[in-house]
Every structure is written in C-alpha cells, then in structure tokens.
C-alpha cells in the first residue's frame, strides 16, 4: 500500500523528535517514522521536514520523489478535477467539486450502509453499475457470492489504488471490476442474471445515459425475478431533488415492469423489485 496521509499525520511528524508512530493508511495501522537530520523517512524516502509544513486541511498527500504531492489531479481528457477528500471516516472522491458520496450530514461509510440495506438480504450475484471508490461493491461482497462492477474512468481507478478503503476491489476474489462503461457493457449479460442491482451513477448532468429509458430497460432485463434494484437519486436541493426522483420513478414505470417502486429518503434513492 502506498503511504497516504493528512494534516493530522503531518503535524505528528512536525512535532516529533527522533521518531513517531503515525498512520500511513488512514488509521488502519500504525508505522514508526524515523526523523533523521531534518528528514522524515517514509517508505525508504527521505522527505525534508519543511515539506510537512505545506500540508493543508482537506487534502490527502502521498510521497513522490522525496516530496509531498496532493492526491488531486486535473485531466485534460475528461476536463474534470479529481480529488480524494478526507471525511469523518472513509474518503470520498470529488469530480470537479461534485462529491460521489454523501459526506456532510452522514459519512461515506454510513451512506454506503444505507444503500446496501435497501437491497437486503444481499445474496447471489450482484451488479454494482458504477464502482467509484468501490464501497458499495466491497460491502455487497460481504454477503453476495459475486459482485460485478464497472468504472469507466481510469482516473477514478487510479484514486482507488491510493485509497486504503478501496483495496478490496483489487484483492477480493468475489469482486470483478471491469474498466469500461456499464452503458455499453450491460448488453453482454444474459437476461435474468442478477439477484440484486445497485445503480449509483453520477448526477444526470454528468451521465444522462444512465438515467435513460433504454438503460432502465436493460436493468430490468438483466434482473432475476424476485430481484431488488436500488437506484441512487442525487438531490441537488430539496425541491429540485423531489422533482428529480419523481421523474426517475416516472421513467422507471414507463420503461420497465419493476414493481413496488418507492423513493426512500434515508438512502436518497429508489428501491424497486422484479
Ligand atoms: C456516485 S459514484 C459511485 C460510488 C460507488 N457506488 C462507491 O461506493 O464508491 C459514480 C461513479 O460512476 C462512474 N461512471 C460514470 N459513468 C459510468 C459508466 N457509464 N459506466 C461505469 N462507471 C461510470 C464515475 O466515474 C464515478 O466514479
């Protein structure tokens, strides 16, 4: 695992004399960091102590060429700014400031738990349409036999590699991550091949095709009879959010025969059964 840290660990290093026990994996474990002649030694690299004075709140940092580098990148290709953002527990990711998990009124971990609860009991084969940081896939894999997930953006997969809480998407044998678009890939699945579907797309503005009638038809086709769908409904503002999920329900009803279609405020999403 690549060492990763925040201002908290930087301050521990700045306040240390000869050595300090600090976490370089967001609290999962602790590592002894030696301080030698004005340098902190991390993963065999000597970083000048002054580097740690530059560390700001609201960012994660990794070590590169004996300097500290923010975990944030701009891609010319997608025209998006990607940032791993510290929260009270698991990091979230922002794509040009739009967070991919709820993280203000509830933490990303709690956000994931509420989504997984919607498809309980989680069992059999699960389709997690949009991997993101892999939290829904990883939590579903605790109970399911297999989780199939997709991520179309290589920059997001790159951030997963740095995030200690995303590692299972690469190591858990029950999880099959494909780097590609679910919009194109869904047609390769046989009808009635999933017991549960988690559809957690970005906003409509970013990925309108993932809210289209054609895509909803495909979600219905690949779901087994008795299966449960959870579809996250981004709510930009309370009034706008209501109009938005009502429209999503209208489209799900028009395009599919999903039943018991209901919006649940606790998970900010729609649950439906086949
Ligand atoms: C809201 S996040 C998913 C969060 C995820 N459930 C988690 O637990 O971290 C949406 C993700 O979908 C990805 N995405 C957007 N369009 C996609 C597509 N057509 N196929 C697969 N992934 C897509 C985005 O890059 C983003 O990482």
Note the pLDDT of residue 240. 61
> Which residue has the CA at smallest separation from atom 19 of ligand 1?
181
Tens of pLDDT, residue by residue over 35-90, are 999 999 998 899 999 999 999 999 999 999 889 999 999 999 999 999 999 999 99
Exposed (0-12), middle (13-18) or buried (19+): which is 46, by Cβ within 10 Å? middle
Alpha helix (H) residue ranges in 91-212: 108-118, 135-140, 154-162, 168-171, 182-185
Atom of ligand 1 nearest to the CA of 207: 16
Mean pLDDT of the chain: 94
Fold adopted by 101-273? Rossmann fold (3.40.50)
Find out whether the beta carbon of 164 lies less than 6 Å from any atom of ligand 1: no
Peptide bond just before 239 cis, omega within 30 deg: no
Binned at pLDDT 50, 70 and 90, residue 179 comes out as very high
Q: Which of 85, 118, 130 maximizes ligand 1 atoms within 8 Å of its Cβ, making it the mutation to test the pocket?
A: 130
Binned at pLDDT 50, 70 and 90, residue 22 comes out as very high
In this model, does residue 261 exceed pLDDT 60?
Answer: yes
Exposure of 42 in the CB half-sphere (CA atoms within 13 A): 30
Binned at pLDDT 50, 70 and 90, residue 206 comes out as confident
Q: Where are the domains of the chain?
A: 4-69, 101-273
Find out whether the beta carbon of 102 lies less than 6 Å from any atom of ligand 1: no
Note the pLDDT of residue 238. 57
Instruction: Tell me the torsion sign for CA atoms 192, 198, 201, 203.
Output: positive
User: Do the Cβ atoms of 49 and 13 come closer than 8 Å?
Assistant: yes
Give me the residue label for tokens 């999903």: 258
> Which residue has the CA at smallest separation from atom 25 of ligand 1?
153
Find out whether the beta carbon of 181 lies less than 6 Å from any atom of ligand 1: yes
Binned at pLDDT 50, 70 and 90, residue 215 comes out as very high
């Amino acid at each position: 695992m690549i060492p990763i840290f925040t201002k908290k660990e930087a301050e521990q290093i700045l306040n240390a004399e000869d050595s300090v026990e600090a976490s370089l994996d967001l609290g999962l474990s602790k590592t002894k960091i030696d301080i030698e002649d004005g340098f902190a030694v991390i993963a065999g690299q000597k970083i000048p102590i002054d580097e740690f004075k530059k560390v700001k709140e609201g960012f994660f940092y990794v070590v590169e060429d004996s300097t500290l580098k923010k975990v944030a990148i701009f891609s010319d290709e997608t025209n998006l700014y990607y940032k791993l953002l510290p929260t009270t527990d698991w990091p979230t990711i922002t794509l040009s400031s739009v967070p991919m998990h709820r993280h203000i009124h509830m933490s990303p971990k709690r956000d994931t738990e509420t989504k997984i609860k919607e498809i309980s009991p989680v069992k059999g084969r699960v389709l997690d349409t949009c991997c993101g940081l892999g939290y829904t896939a990883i939590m579903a894999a605790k109970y399911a036999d297999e989780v199939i997930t997709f991520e179309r953006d290589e920059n997001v997969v790159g951030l997963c590699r740095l995030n200690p809480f995303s590692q299972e998407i690469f190591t858990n044998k029950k999880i099959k991550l494909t780097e590609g678009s679910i919009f194109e890939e869904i047609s390769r699945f046989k009808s009635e091949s999933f017991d549960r579907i988690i559809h957690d797309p970005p906003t409509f503005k970013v990925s309108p095709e993932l809210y289209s009638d054609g895509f909803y038809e495909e979600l219905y086709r690949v779901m087994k009879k008795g299966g449960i769908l959870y579809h996250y409904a981004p709510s930009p503002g309370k009034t706008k959010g209501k109009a938005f999920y009502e429209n999503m329900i209208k489209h799900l009803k028009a395009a599919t025969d999903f039943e018991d279609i209901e919006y649940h405020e606790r998970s900010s999403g729609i649950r439906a059964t086949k």
